[in-house]
Amino acid sequence: MNVLIVYAHPEPTSFNGAMKDLAVATLTEGGHQVEVSDLYAMGWNAVAGPADTPGTDAPRFSLAREQTLAMEQGRIAADIAAEQEKLIRADMLILQFPIWWFGMPAILKGWADRVLARGFAYLPGRKYDTGMFKGKLAMVATTTGTSADTYAPDGIDGDILTVLWPVHNGLLRYTGFDVLPPHVAYMPGREDDATRARQLQAYRTRLQTIDQTPRLFFHPAGDYGPNERLKPGVLARSGQQRNV
């Protein structure tokens, strides 16, 4: 496989950095080709705006409209185009980041805002089951500042799958990826060296067994009615969805 790791942590010696380095080594040893987008090292611009679509002359700026036109006309900004080429080459995407304020760091959210442009990552009729990245794999690899108990279904921070639902469903599945369960290293900054070593070994094993890992479940299009709500009688099984 060709694997793209999009890595978002400002400190190279962090545990996230160790996870990224381990992933590169493990996947390469397994015969895979690996590319890394180190967003902080790249000085990635996280702010989407008119500079992303040079040549626009619209009197009123609409990001979605201008992204679509820029993709059609081949004038998307060069830094965005370079990341899109990496995604085109990739069979699998790994998002490596610490959970900050129950989500991705702003620099990674900005990567998604700019790179997953309308016309490249989605269009009307090209979402979810029919998404532009259908056939590609994706996985979140992340760290937390608190324990696994706090991210349990009855934990104070909420179920980790609910916390990550905007990434799993709203970003990855929306654009067509098959999504693997996340690999979460819980509060490595508060553990001893031996525990951190075990966490890294667990990640190595996870990377070596990707082919045997079941995908997260998302309801297929046929489970939804014309109003895009689950049809009566369909039991909600995806992430934070529930029957009402």
Ordered structural domains, the chain, with CATH? 2-223 (3.40.50.360)
Portion of the chain with pLDDT greater than 90, in percent:
92
CB atoms within 10 A of CB 12: 14
Residue type, 139: M
3-state SS assignment for residue 151: helix
d(CA 165, CA 159): 10
d(CA 138, CA 7): 14
Residue type, 99: I
Alpha carbon 210 to its chain centroid, in Å, reads 16
Evaluate if residue 40 carries a pLDDT over 90. yes
Q: What single string gives the DSSP state of each residue in 96-117?
A: EEE-BTTB--HHHHHHHHHHS-
The reported pLDDT for the residue numbered 189 is: 81
Q: What is the pLDDT of residues 151-175, one digit of tens each?
A: 999 999 999 999 999 999 999 999 9
Q: What is the pTM of this model?
A: 0.94
Evaluate if residue 191 carries a pLDDT over 90. no
Q: How is residue 120 written in tokens?
A: 């490249």
Q: What is the pLDDT of residues 99-135, one digit of tens each?
A: 999 999 999 999 999 999 999 999 999 999 999 999 9
Beta-strand runs (E) in 25-181: 33-38, 92-98, 137-143, 178-179
Give percent helix, percent strand, percent coil of the chain, each to the nearest 5. Answer: 40, 15, 45
